[in-house]
Structure 1
Amino acid sequence: MAQEVSEFLSQNPRVAAWVEALRCEGETDKQWRHRREFLLRNAGDLAPAGGGTSATEEDENASGGARSRQLQQLISFSMAWANHVFLGCRYPQKVMDKILSMAEGIKVTDAPIHTTRDELVAKKG
């Protein structure tokens, strides 16, 4: 899938620039590669069109607030998912269900393995 994402971005420079602007400063290349895939899979109409023309200013202003909220939510979900996969963070079950369903099909083969406190306690008992 990583090859497909790279090929897609090379053919869609506006989308590539848009998604690259969402990268966090301290993100490793590995983390970013997977989080970028998460963002692209779930961006829908939040990402710019691949062509050279953009929506009119009127259209952008009319839906700008809703689009901005949706984009912020997508970014938040992508970061929560990356934190879960790479750092072992846990979130309320509703959030975990949402981010895991959004990440279906993304294969992270080299993610660290984390042991939860509950798992450690269960081993001692």
Structure 2
Amino acid sequence: MASLDVQEFIQQNRALADQVERFRGVSESDKHWEGRREFLLRNMNDYEEADVDHLLALSMVWANNVFLGCRYSAELLEKVKEMAEGIEVDAPVFMTRDEIVKKQQGR
């Protein structure tokens, strides 16, 4: 879903959009929320009401990895990246300490 597609989807599915909106974190920026909201909307139908907490946790893993550079197991990252396929966000590029040191040594 492109940004315009997300807005159209929200307008056409107001009840679902309102349900997802309640999951926004109090301190979550608009930029982070827009990406995570799209993640939730894309995957909501794959999770039963009882599994919503699991979906919320996966959305946080994805957002933390993309926006904050948090690292998780390769298996978990593979799963959330697959779930987020096609979501476009303006995310920072992170380098590990080893990558920074290697870059410094190359100068």
Fold agreement, TM-score > 0.5: yes
State the match for 1:98 in structure 2.
Answer: 79
- TM-score normalised according to structure 1 size: 0.75
Shift in Å, 1:121 = 3.5
Change (3 A) 1:45 1:101: closer
| Deviation digits for residues 77-109 of structure 1 (CA, Å, limit 9, x no counterpart) | 10111111111111011111111111111111x
Mapped to 2, the partners of 1:91 and 1:45 lie a distance apart of: 22
What do residues 46-84 of structure 1 show as CA deviations (whole Å, max 9, x unaligned)? Answer: 4xxxxxxxxxxxxxxxxxxx632x211110110111111
- Structure 1 residues without counterparts, runs of 5 or longer: 47-65
Amino acid at match of 1:114: F
Aligned-pair identity in percent equals 49
Q: TM-score, normalised by structure 2?
A: 0.87
After the TM superposition, which residues 30-49 of structure 1 pair with which residues of structure 2 at under 5 Å, given as runs?
30-44=31-45, 46=47
Alignment of 1:71-110 (within 5 A): 71-108=52-89, 110=90
Larger Rg: 1
Letter in 2 for 1:119: E
Deviation at 1:45, TM superposition (A): 5.2
C-alpha root-mean-square deviation of aligned residues, in Å?
1.6
The corresponding residue for 2:13 is 12
Unpaired stretches in structure 2, ≥5 consecutive residues: none
Q: Does 1:122 align with 2:99?
A: no
Q: Which of 111-120 and 30-39 deviates more? A: 111-120
Q: Cα distance, 1:16 vs. partner?
A: 1.3
Aligned residues: 104
